[in-house]
């Protein structure tokens, strides 16, 4: 179970190879690139045999990435904790909607959105890595809702880790706010910033670059570029193929993934590189379509983000696109670095034709507008009796456009509709029934501090946080 000697390398090529624990605790590579495994491990076909349990599949899919970088049994303990927090025995059940169309439900965890799957594992594995090294870690993250909730649920009361979450004051839903603020944990600090999400991100950047805060130990972020989070999303692709097999379907599926930062989708690409039978991927984006424009027209260009109902996908420069480009370039780090440096400096870059061809062989992309998303919420209820969230509706709409003559199509369902009742209720005429994890939020006391969108205010709040 030792990992390849290449360890983790950076997409920008200017970082010494490191192991899983270091890639996990650092998040981003020091040269500004993203960590990638030095080589893809191989999954044997018995990994997705019908009837296998989630944990067994996750051990097969993830242990090659960890090698001996964590204490023995760390992954198994992390998976025990993960599966205990999910309600169905399958963890991520596959639901058949109609002939050759399925939905993979990823929202049965503690905060009712798919980010729980990776975040729960990342928290448990980080805690194991820190226990082994004797270090402490402060994590800071900006959130528009789902990431912060999943992070708080995962990291609350975790040894050796403090978590600081900045959300825009009065601009997240009441459910999302209460998921973050009602957790009784001294190691979590919630800051409500009088400003918008971009202000939160700016303050996080400032905190991450402040050397005086590092006296406590490591200081890092908990966003979707972390390799450990990607690795934690590979098992449900394996599980989907296993569940298809259990339904008597052996043809390779097309996965349709509702996409923001391309983290969820890239985990699927990784699973395919490891040998999982997949016919292709469709990245379904909302009107924030930089990824679709890059793949379909060859120009990767920034545009101002617009607000949509699938708010967790309101992303204009998808961070994990860099991993896809790195693979498409046949791991040419110099070419990858040049492309993203041009993009950062000029706001746009033309995709080299060879990269584009390699990307298109793996992933196609579809942008779904707001009226179509609403229509799809209605169709899912009328045709299949399913109440779905707007992110899932974007995926289902794209999935219905995929040619099913060659095999089954699986749309990923990323959040429980009750988290997005304000967008779902006007279409269906009723509020989605909340799951137990949302009902249980009840009227527990909330803990958060309101601050101005100002670097000094953020610094003062963090300094005052004992945690
Ligand atoms: C984060 C999120 C997405 C997008 O996932 P990426 O990995 O950023 O592509 C989709 N749906 C929901 C509900 C999310 O929270």
**Which atom of ligand 1 sits closest to the CA of residue 258?**
10
Closest CA to 233 of 269, 273, 260, 279: 269
Closest CA to 167 of 183, 185, 149: 149
Residue to probe by mutation, ligand 1, list 256, 261, 313, most atoms within 8 Å of CB: 313
- Size of the chain in residues: 467
Q: What is the pLDDT of residue 212?
A: 85
Cα of 413 vs centre of ligand 1, distance in Å, is 10
Task: Name all residues whose Cβ lies below 6 A of ligand 1.
Answer: 113-115, 146, 224, 258-265, 312-313, 391, 414-415
SS3 of residue 139 by DSSP = strand
Cα of 256 vs centre of ligand 1, distance in Å, is 13
Q: What is the pLDDT of residue 330?
A: 97
Cα of 133 vs centre of ligand 1, distance in Å, is 32
Cα of 16 vs centre of ligand 1, distance in Å, is 30
Give the chain's radius of gyration (CA, Å). 21
Query: Are the C-beta atoms of 308 and 281 separated by less than 8 Å?
Result: no
**Which atom of ligand 1 sits closest to the CA of residue 266?**
7
Cα of 258 vs centre of ligand 1, distance in Å, is 7
**Spatial distance between the Cα atoms of 272 and 459, rounded to a whole number of angstroms:** 43
Distances in Å between the alpha carbon of 149 and those of 315, 409, 438?
A: 18, 30, 12
Q: What is the pLDDT of residue 172?
A: 87
In the chain, what is the straight-line distance between the N-terminal and C-terminal CA atoms, in Å?
Answer: 36
**Spatial distance between the Cα atoms of 185 and 156, rounded to a whole number of angstroms:** 5
**Spatial distance between the Cα atoms of 300 and 343, rounded to a whole number of angstroms:** 8
Q: pLDDT digit of tens for each residue in the chain (467 aa)?
A: 445 546 999 999 999 999 999 999 999 899 999 999 999 999 999 999 999 999 999 999 999 999 999 999 999 999 999 999 999 999 999 999 999 999 999 999 999 999 999 999 999 999 999 999 999 999 999 998 789 999 999 999 999 999 999 999 998 888 889 999 999 999 999 999 999 888 898 899 889 888 888 877 888 988 778 999 999 999 999 999 999 999 999 999 999 999 999 999 999 999 999 999 999 999 999 999 999 999 999 999 998 889 999 999 988 889 999 999 999 999 999 999 999 999 999 999 999 999 999 999 999 999 999 999 999 999 999 999 999 999 999 999 999 999 999 899 999 999 999 999 999 999 999 999 999 999 998 888 999 999 999 999 999 999 988 75
Task: Convert the pLDDT of each residue in 242-275 to its tens digit.
Answer: 999 999 999 999 999 999 999 999 999 999 999 9
Cα of 1 vs centre of ligand 1, distance in Å, is 31
**Spatial distance between the Cα atoms of 370 and 444, rounded to a whole number of angstroms:** 35
**Which atom of ligand 1 sits closest to the CA of residue 391?**
11
Q: What is the pLDDT of residue 4?
A: 54
**Spatial distance between the Cα atoms of 396 and 402, rounded to a whole number of angstroms:** 10
Residue to probe by mutation, ligand 1, list 106, 107, 111, 115, most atoms within 8 Å of CB: 115
**Spatial distance between the Cα atoms of 175 and 442, rounded to a whole number of angstroms:** 10
Closest CA to 120 of 91, 89, 90, 88: 91
**Spatial distance between the Cα atoms of 317 and 261, rounded to a whole number of angstroms:** 7
Q: What is the pLDDT of residue 5?
A: 46
Instruction: Quote the tokens at residue 9.
Output: 């390398």
Cα of 55 vs centre of ligand 1, distance in Å, is 23
**Spatial distance between the Cα atoms of 411 and 398, rounded to a whole number of angstroms:** 8
Closest CA to 155 of 199, 117, 192, 120: 120
**Spatial distance between the Cα atoms of 202 and 453, rounded to a whole number of angstroms:** 9
Residue to probe by mutation, ligand 1, list 153, 260, 265, most atoms within 8 Å of CB: 260
């Amino acid at each position: 179970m030792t990992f390849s000697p290449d360890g983790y390398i950076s997409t920008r090529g200017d970082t010494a190879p490191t192991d899983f624990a270091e890639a996990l605790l650092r998040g981003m590579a020091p040269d500004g690139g993203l960590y990638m495994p030095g080589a893809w491990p191989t999954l044997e076909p018995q990994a997705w045999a019908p009837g296998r349990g989630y944990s067994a599949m996750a051990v097969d899919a993830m242990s090659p990435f960890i090698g001996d970088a964590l204490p023995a049994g760390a992954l198994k303990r992390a998976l025990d904790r993960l599966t205990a927090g999910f309600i169905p025995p399958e963890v991520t059940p596959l639901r058949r909607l109609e002939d050759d169309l399925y939905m993979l439900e990823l929202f049965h965890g503690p905060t009712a959105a798919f980010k729980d799957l990776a975040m729960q594992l990342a928290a448990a594995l980080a805690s194991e890595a820190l226990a082994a090294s004797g270090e402490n870690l402060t994590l800071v993250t900006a959130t528009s809702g789902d990431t912060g909730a999943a992070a708080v649920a995962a990291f609350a009361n975790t040894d050796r880790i403090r978590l600081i979450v900045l959300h825009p004051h009065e601009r997240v839903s009441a459910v999302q706010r209460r998921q973050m603020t009602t957790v009784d944990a001294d190691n979590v600090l919630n800051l409500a910033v009088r400003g918008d999400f971009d202000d939160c991100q700016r303050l996080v950047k400032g905190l991450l670059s402040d050397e005086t805060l590092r006296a406590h130990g490591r200081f890092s972020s908990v966003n979707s570029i972390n390799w450990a989070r990607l690795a934690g999303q590979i098992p449900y692709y394996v599980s989907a193929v296993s569940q298809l097999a259990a339904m008597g379907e052996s043809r390779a599926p097309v996965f349709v993934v509702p996409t923001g930062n391309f983290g969820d989708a890239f985990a699927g690409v990784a699973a395919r590189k490891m040998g999982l039978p997949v016919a292709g991927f469709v990245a379904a984006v909302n009107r924030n379509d930089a990824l679709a424009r890059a793949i379909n027209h060859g120009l990767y260009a920034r545009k101002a983000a617009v607000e949509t109902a699938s708010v967790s996908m309101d992303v204009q420069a998808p961070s994990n696109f860099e991993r896809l480009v790195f693979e498409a370039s046949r791991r040419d780090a110099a070419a990858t670095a040049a492309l993203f440096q041009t993009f950062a400096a000029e706001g746009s870059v033309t995709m080299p034709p060879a990269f584009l061809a390699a990307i298109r062989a793996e992933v196609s992309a579809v942008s779904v507008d707001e009226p179509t998303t609403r229509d799809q919420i209605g169709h899912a209820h009328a045709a299949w009796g399913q109440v779905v969230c707007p992110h899932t509706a974007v995926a289902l709409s794209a999935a219905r456009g995929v040619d099913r003559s060659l095999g089954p199509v699986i749309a990923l369902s990323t959040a429980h509709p009750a988290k997005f009742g304000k967008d779902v209720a006007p279409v269906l005429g009723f509020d989605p029934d909340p799951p137990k994890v949302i009902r249980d939020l009840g009227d527990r006391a909330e803990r958060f501090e309101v601050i101005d969108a100002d670097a000094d205010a953020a610094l003062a709040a963090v300094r005052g946080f004992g945690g």
